[in-house]
A = this chain, B = another copy of it.
Amino acid sequence: MRRTKNKKAIILLSGGIDSATALYLAKNKGFKPLALIFDYGQRHKKEVDCAKKIADSTGSAYRVMKLNLPHKGSSLLDKKARLPGKRSFEEIKQKGIPSTYVPGRNLIFLSIAASFAESVKAEAIFIGAHTEDYSGYPDCREVFLKDFKRAVNSGTKSGKNIRIYAPLINKSKKEIVKIGQRLKVPFEYTWSCYKGGKLPCGVCDSCIFRKKAFKELGLADPAR
């Protein structure tokens, strides 16, 4: 990735570790980040406030976009649905697409990011997606990002000039935490737990991944 001074980049910022690290990477590469935060009915809506704090920590502008998705059937959107119970890292990896899957989430988020990028003449979009941990989400795979980029090229006026960066795509959560630590990402502001309670539940898939990464690095999680 070449260094780019003051070129705008749209960052998909969820409030979790991955997108926060993607934001810091963009900043570190000299981009002027514009964070795009989605309030899409997620049960852990508190990640929206975390995302704002993370954007603020880099002095980046942000926009919160509300989406009333006409959805049902995802346990991440439906508080009455059951989240997957406690399972080990290996169990999660074996089980395939989890019930927390939101149909076409990154397709929608990236589409809006591409549109936003074109509108403000940003040259890049950053997404913190990675395949290593969440092998279950199809829209976190490199093949999807490539196909999506092609649709941006043919379906927009100037999309050919917009690059999509997924700098963490082949990293594990452990490696991401390591990169984030180096870049001084304020992990204390990040939120991962799907339940969105006062404290992380410690048992949902997302908590399991996070705990494992910090443990393997011998680090205390400052958000706990």
Contact of A112 among B69, B143, B155 (CB under 8 A): B69
A151 touches B157 (CB 8 A): no
A106 within 8 A of B: yes
A3 partner residues in chain B, CB cutoff 8 A: none
Q: Could you say which of A14-22, A116-124, A178-186 contacts chain B? A: A116-124
Residue of B nearest to A73 (CB): B119
Main secondary structure of the interface of A (DSSP, over half): helix
Q: How many copies does the complex hold?
A: 2
A151 touches B154 (CB 8 A): no
Of the candidate stretches A23-31, A60-68, A169-177, the one touching chain B is A60-68
Q: Does A115 contact B (CB under 8 A)?
A: yes
How many positions in chain A have a CB within 8 Å of any CB in the partner chain? 46
How many angstroms between the C-alpha atoms of A63 and B70 in the bound complex? 8
CB neighbours of A68 from chain B (8 A): 65-66
Could you tell me the distance between the alpha carbons of A111 and B118 in the complex, rounded to whole angstroms?
Answer: 17
Report if A219 contacts B (CB, 8 A): no
